[in-house]
A = this chain, B = another copy of it.
Amino acid sequence: MNITIGVDVGGTNIVCGATDEAGRVLRKLKRSTEAHTGHEAVLGKIADMVRQIREDLGEDYEATSVGVGVPGLVDPRAGVSKFAGNLKWRDIPVVSLLEQQIGLPVFIDNDVRMYIYGEAVAGAGRGYEHVLGITIGTGIAAAIVNGGELYYGHKAMAGEIGHVRMDGVDEDCACGLSGCLETVASASGMVRQAKKLLREGRASVLNDWFPGDELERLSAADLSKAMDAGDALASEIIVRAGELNGRALAAAAMVLSPDVIVVGGGGALAGERLLAPLRDELYRLLLPDFREELKVVTAEQNDDAGIIGSSLYAAHRSKSI
């Protein structure tokens, strides 16, 4: 049986998984990235993981190619990671270095595109021709899949919806701009907002849950819990994040007219707390013809979408060569 292998390289963990042609995960491994060990060590670890998975699956399974999703700026044609801040990579020829070690065709792309590709082909976007996907996590990014093909744009830079300037937002962003969507509407942005407001003395159950220095441990999941406990501050932050995402998506949707918007990433784990205000704001701002037609769904494979997408992307790319 032919399989492909998908790798999702994050700042914290590397996940590596084999899937069949339908994107079903047959076997999966996870190891810590340890980015400080340098790109050669990290790529060596990836090659080891791929080797391990092939061994574990045995001779009945024939791996044909490997897809690797890397954060940051990627040149998928050249096979190069142009810049990945949390890995401290710059201009790393990932494809050639990995192909030498693995002996299979390797394809790389940006992790968000891999994730959304998987959702478009084998997840929540399955069966739709025009898919607009957004991942709400540490940052916010989008990817577009039309008729099964990822859209890249100039220098493969398409998808930077997280840096669209939002009115009423004035936080400085790491990118150098200010008021970017992701400064307040990403999972990290929500946590940052909460910490700031709590330090300013805002009343919240979170003051009891995270007294003093423990506030550093606050996560987006804690905000969801606080909202469920009726906390006004948590609710305000999550609802606002939902609305801002809805607003940015409305602008993108009117230009692109997707069939469906897939919402994924860690932030999507907030579920309806975030999605209800997102949907309300999105539909409020859409032209009637769009409002009636456009669907909004959450990612199906939130945990495995990265490896499934990378694996299916490798299968797709190796067919088109």
CB within 8 Å of B: which residues of A?
73, 129-130, 142, 144, 146, 151-161, 163-165, 167-168, 175-177, 247-248, 250-252, 254-259, 285, 287-290, 293-294
Contact = CB atoms under 8 A, between A and B. Distances in A.
If over half of A's interface residues share one DSSP class (helix, strand or loop), that class is named, otherwise mixed; here it is mixed
A126 to B, nearest CB: 16
9 contacts: A154-B259, A156-B257, A157-B290, A159-B255, A160-B254, A160-B287, A160-B290, A175-B288, A255-B256
Copies of this chain, complex-wide, total 2
A167 B168 contact: yes
Contact of A250 (B165, B176, B258): B165
Nearest to A289: B157
A160 B257 contact: yes
A141 to B, nearest CB: 10
A163 B250 CA distance: 10
B154 A294 contact: yes
Contacts of A293: 154-155, 157
Contacts of A129: 154
Nearest to A287: B163
Given A151-B256, A175-B288, A256-B256, 10 more contacts: A130-B153, A130-B154, A142-B255, A154-B259, A154-B293, A155-B257, A158-B256, A164-B251, A176-B288, A177-B287
Given A130-B154, A167-B168, A161 B255 contact: yes
A250 B160 CA distance: 11
